Amino acid sequence: MAPAALEAQSQQKEETVAHNSVLSSTSVNDTTHRSKVSVIGSGNWGSVASKLIASNTFRLNSFHDEVRMWVYEETLQSGEKLTDAINRTNENVKYLPGIKLGNNVVADPDLENTVRDANMLVFVTPHQFMEGICKRLVGKIRADAEAISLVKGMEVKMEGPCMISSLISQILGINCSVLMGANIANEIAVEKFSEATVGYRQNRDVAERWVQLFYTPYFIVTAVQDVEGVELCGTLKNVVALAAGFVDGLEMGNNTKAAIMRLGLREMKAFSKLLFPSVKDSTFFESCGVADLITTCLGGRNRKVAEAYAKNGGRRSFDELEAEMLQGQKLQGVSTAREVYEVLSHRGWLELFPLFATVHEISSGLLPPSAIVEYSEKQVRSF
């Protein structure tokens, strides 16, 4: 966006009273300490997040208008660069066509330039790319920057599982909150009502600033002091969604699907509390918990592709179906199921989590899709 246009937008900005759960009016009107926001990621959800954020940075005086969105550069079939197309049309024509992002969103293929001078970093890329992205940013960000992760997934290392928020903090040396919830991106893009949960560690003021950045009348955000609980809910629900998709593909009916969702929620809670005893039971009743599980098992991409996998009897790989059905978007459930399986195997927990174990064994071709309803015959410990 041209500097002149941004200046014109700034002159038109209205003074707004923030939602009562966010920063005080004193800090909102403090134009000498405006926060600058950068979004690292520009897929379907990254583009929607940029739209939400841009509507608030333009409206609230506590933020710089401009939101830079890092784009992994691609060349469209027309020959035009994706970044150029986004900046020309104000739409992500590949991953979110038909939705205006806001004139203050600027697509940038240069990662370092995207984060320059930003003190609020929003990470929203497939989790398998996060370690490489963070390593590229070492020494390139402000020392006082705060991060928030919208990324579902975990890294499994020799020393054990590492959540993406922890990965960001460890590599970049900054605090990282998380945002998860019942958030199918295409529905939020057209401003259908939705909720989300911010998980934070210690600083409530930081959490409130993230709430302020994302909150709109159609996107309600609340904060809870439970980073690991919120993040694991957002991560593990994709594994359960695969199971729900297998059930749909085999036409087993709603009763079976409901049973799978209930058992999945039980394993989500048990796994989370074994890894992190500090995880709160109440977190599973936030938007990031049961609500996200329900919507993902009813309408998410993991469920959709798993249904196709089951209909084909497992004869077509997830990689093949992903390429055919998702137009460049990435599944998270299959890789997360593998990572969870590695943790379970390493710690001797496989028999405690038969649903999680079976989902991986089906998605990797070791078992047929019909095994999803056979796992319950195994001995299971009650939690």
List active site positions. 237
- Does the annotation place 371 within a ligand binding site? no
* 28-47 burial code (b ≥16 CB/10 A, e <16): beeeeeebbbbbbbbbbbbb
Has 301 been labeled as part of a binding site? Answer: yes
Residue 210 annotated as lining a ligand binding site: no
Q: Which helix (H) or strand (E) holds 66?
A: strand 63-70
Q: Is 254 annotated as a binding residue?
A: no
The reply, when asked if residue 302 is annotated as ligand binding, is yes
- Residue 246, marked binder: no
3-state helix, strand, coil in the chain (%, to 5): 50, 15, 35
Closest CA to 196 of 177, 172, 175: 177
Residue 79 in marked binding region: no
Structure tokens at 243: 């199971």
E strands, 83-218, in order:
105-108, 120-123, 146-149, 154-157, 160-163, 176-180, 194-199
332 a known binding residue?
yes
205 vs 77: CA distance, rounded Å: 45
Distance CA 32, CA 27 (A): 10
The continuous run of DSSP H or E covering 40 comes out as: strand 35-40
State the residue for tokens 């830079």.
68
CA distance 142 to 115: 9
Phi-psi category of residue 76: left, alpha or beta, with phi > 0 → left and psi -120 to 50 → alpha: beta
Q: How far apart are the first and last CA of the chain?
A: 54
Q: Torsions phi, psi of 108, nearest 5? A: -140, 125
The reply, when asked if residue 152 is annotated as ligand binding, is: yes
* Residue 348 assigned as binding residue: no
Q: Is 266 annotated as a binding residue?
A: no
| DSSP string across 203-250 | -HHHHHHHHHHH-BTTEEEEEES-HHHHHHHHHHHHHHHHHHHHHHHT
Q: Is 98 annotated as a binding residue?
A: no
Other C-beta atoms closer than 10 Å to the C-beta of 234 total 29
Pairing state of beta strands 194-199 and 219-224? parallel
102 marked among binding-site residues: no
Q: Which residue numbers belong to the known binding site for substrate?
A: 152, 301-302
Q: Which residue numbers belong to the known binding site for NAD(+)?
A: 41-46, 129, 185, 301, 330, 332
